[in-house]
A and B are shown apart, each in its own frame.
With several copies, the nearest count.
Chain A
């Protein structure tokens, strides 16, 4: 297993320790139970935006804690939802008196753990609302599944929702912005390689040299179908078309185009994908007004990418452009 780790069972804690030390100017880390909170939390009068999920998707979520984005993030074990006590303590730690919003990626585990945390929190007098991210169009028959997964859009939702909270909007408004982002965003991903969870020690699935998985999530699961490897342009079309058709995005729509790396794919390749995604978007007469390219929500060292489209209006653009100061995303300040 080719990893820079010590013991498999220490990976999440040790990584968090390094993260805490490297970014002590922006965040602080609580270890028992584990959560990351912005350094100046709680911010008085501001809705506290809390997210979390399994580890292994770095920089998601902990890297997005800070001014203008998340107030707290709860890291679980690798690819495992965190537990309700983490979410409860994180929520209490960032409660500035204006309520707490939980941003939940739509996985059974995340849903249930956040649900329990909210029940516990409400019992302790916290005002908690939640918004679910489920943008993965690879999950088509969502009636017969746990529903669509939350993938790339999560990053955009956390940024925009965090900016809305920073404007001191009410819990209801902040939650609604997050829901609007969710209803306006769609994603799809693919993998060229699998990834290795430290405690498993070998790749989650075998992917022969000339094959790829289309429609993967972010947990090393195999995708919807396996195909022979194709060119970047063809792969990009395979991701873009279902995404565009799903909402659907229509001629004249203003959009943000997000090409995300799964962890093991070089930035240079993401720009090759971006180039073709942009050209396809233009072919559909979408107006790409904002671009975002990088490995922002990953699946350990998996090679591959996902593409996310988000429809924009003036408000979402303003909130996207608003200052953000976190370990992994920073601009305007």
Chain B
């Protein structure tokens, strides 16, 4: 049986689920950011993803790459702060990799996330262990690649990647931040989850819950 593909409807459901999850976790993300940052992460992400959903409804004509690009541009112009450009880059880079595709295979999705990750690394000059959103994204990409090598189902691979993202997010707690605002706290940044890692986990969890279901 061929691996299940991801169609445009799934991407729309995913983006909508992202917005719902961010909205539901707005105070939680804000609280995480207040502890080691400036307390705007939840509000900014919520504003951004609400705008993404508005664009969705206006753009019934868009294909998958256009949807991803529109999400990226919208986040860039509505989120602000560090996460605006970073999540914007995430979607823009992913869009480039799937150019021309009407449906995505698991391999496409992996390539997209990898491009997204590289984009974030280039934009933010951070690496794994710096206590950033990368600490949730990188293990998720790795888990997807491992799963794909083992011919998992698309749904199973996505579930594994969400699981790895969650572990990666949790692992940011003891870390001392080396990038972003939290790094100013030095040792005092340890003992708190990174808010960007938490939001990244929410997006990847939403992917697992929507991309491979009809």
Interface on A for B, CB 8 Å cutoff? 33, 54, 76-85, 107-109, 112-113, 115-116, 138-139, 141, 144-146, 149, 197, 199-200, 204-205, 217, 219-222, 224
Contacts and interface: CB of A to CB of B under 8 A. Distances in A.
B35 to A, nearest CB: 8
A250 B123 CA distance: 38
B165 to A, nearest CB: 21
Contact of A113 (B39, B80, B179, B180): B80
A219 B82 CA distance: 14
A220 B181 CA distance: 11
Contacts of A33: 77
Contact of B34 (A109, A115, A200): A200
B202 to A, nearest CB: 19
B44 to A, nearest CB: 6
Given A83-B79, A197-B39, A224 B86 contact: no
A54 B181 CA distance: 13
Interface of B: 30, 34, 37-40, 43-44, 47, 76-86, 88, 123-124, 176-181, 183-186, 188
Given A112-B124, A145-B183, A146-B183, A77 B86 contact: no
- The 6 A-B pairs of least Cβ separation, nearest first, read A145-B183, A112-B85, A109-B82, A109-B81, A219-B38, A80-B80
Nearest to B123: A112
Nearest to B132: A108
A222 B34 CA distance: 10
B188 A109 contact: no
Nearest to B176: A144
Contacts of B185: 221-222, 224
A77 B76 contact: no
B178 A145 contact: yes
A113 B184 CA distance: 20
Given A108-B124, A144-B178, A222-B185, A197 B82 contact: no
| Dominant secondary structure at the A interface | loop
A116 B40 contact: no
A81 B79 CA distance: 9
A189 to B, nearest CB: 12
Interface centre among A79, A109, A149 (most CB of B within 10 A): A109
Contacts of B123: 112, 115
A108 B76 CA distance: 14
A199 B81 contact: no
B39 A79 contact: yes
A108 B82 contact: yes
Contacts of A199: 30, 40, 43
A149 B82 CA distance: 14
Nearest to B187: A224
Nearest to A114: B85
B160 to A, nearest CB: 30
Interface of B is mostly: helix
Nearest to B183: A145
B162 to A, nearest CB: 26
Nearest to B42: A199
A79 B88 CA distance: 19
Contacts of B183: 144-146
A80 B77 CA distance: 12
B129 to A, nearest CB: 12
A217 to B, nearest CB: 6
Given A204-B39, A219-B38, A76 B81 contact: yes
Given A78-B40, A113-B85, A220-B38, A107 B181 contact: yes
Contacts of B47: 77
A109 B179 contact: no
Contacts of B179: 108, 145-146
Contacts of B86: 112
B98 to A, nearest CB: 21
B15 to A, nearest CB: 19
B188 A76 contact: no
Contacts of B176: 144
B85 A109 contact: yes
Contacts of B39: 79, 197, 200, 204, 220
B84 A83 contact: yes
A220 B79 CA distance: 19
A289 B80 CA distance: 37
Nearest to B41: A80
A85 B77 CA distance: 6
16 contacts: A54-B40, A77-B44, A81-B80, A83-B79, A84-B85, A85-B77, A107-B82, A108-B124, A113-B84, A116-B88, A141-B186, A144-B178, A199-B30, A221-B37, A224-B185, A224-B186
B5 to A, nearest CB: 32
B77 A83 contact: yes
A54 B80 CA distance: 9
Contact of A81 (B82, B184, B186): B82
B80 A77 contact: yes
Given A77-B43, A204-B34, A82 B80 contact: yes
A199 B77 CA distance: 20
